[in-house]
Amino acid sequence: MRIKKLLLLLATGFAVLCFLAVPATASAADHMRTPINYRKSSETVPYPDINKLKDPWIKVSIARNRVYIMDGHKCVYTMYASAGKYETKNGKRVSTTPTGTFAIQDARGDSFYNPAVKCGANNYVSWHDNGSYLFHSVPTDKDGHYIKAEAAKLGKSTASHGCIRLSVPDSKWMMNVPAGTKVVVQKD
């Protein structure tokens, strides 16, 4: 009986040692660029090839200030983002970015400027209301210069009028996403 207990303890200890010796696989958090830099990609690893993913779709978390490039149930890339500012409507705190299931649309381009809000952006791709809601770079001024105070909010807080802001390289990558790709925007 004592030998069986001793063997069990040895086997259990060996299993624990083996478990501890196996390195964990790297998570997306291990690849996130810190500090956040609006002129660089969000991760330090290459972007996924959207055309080689089996079930590509995009998940947006407003509260986490993140965009997740998904392949089925697996996140293959994470981007820092800033979605719509929070407002109080009917006594509830809501973002100016609509939530729900949408799709990437054909409307896209290199740059725009909206004089009504006194800012523009580069690398835009529509995902709702044919150009009303976009993925795009951090904002630019009327001369096309990035607004550094707004860029500093990337990945840290909501900041837009409803669009989803990304770093400059991330917004360029987003322009390759085919029309029809599912986009799910969630509060959290």
Q: Tell me what pLDDT residue 12 has.
A: 40
Distance CA 182, CA 164 (A): 15
Separation between Cα atoms, residue 142 and residue 144, nearest integer Å: 6
DSSP string, 107-163: -EEEEEEETTTTEEEEEEEEEETTTTEEEEESPB-TTS-B-HHHHTTTTTS--BSSS
| HSE-up (13 A, CA, CB side) for residue 51 | 3
Residue ranges of the chain whose pLDDT lies below 70? 1-29
Alpha-carbon distance 33 to 29, whole Å? 9
Beta bridge partners of 121: 112
| 75 is a catalytic site residue | no
Active site residue 31: no
Instruction: State both tokens at 100.
Output: 């729900």
* pLDDT tens, residue by residue, 118-159: 999 999 999 999 999 999 999 999 999 999 999 999 999 999
Question: DSSP secondary-structure letter at 62?
Answer: T
Which tokens is 86 given? 């929070």
pLDDT value at residue 27: 55
Q: How high is the pLDDT of residue 86?
A: 92
Q: pTM to 2 decimals? A: 0.84
Q: Which of 18, 75, 145, 163 is catalytic?
A: 163
* Candidates 31, 75, 119, 136; catalytic one: 136
Q: Which two tokens stand for residue 146?
A: 């990035």
Instruction: Let me know if 109 is exposed, middle or buried by CB neighbors in 10 A (0-12, 13-18, 19+).
Output: middle
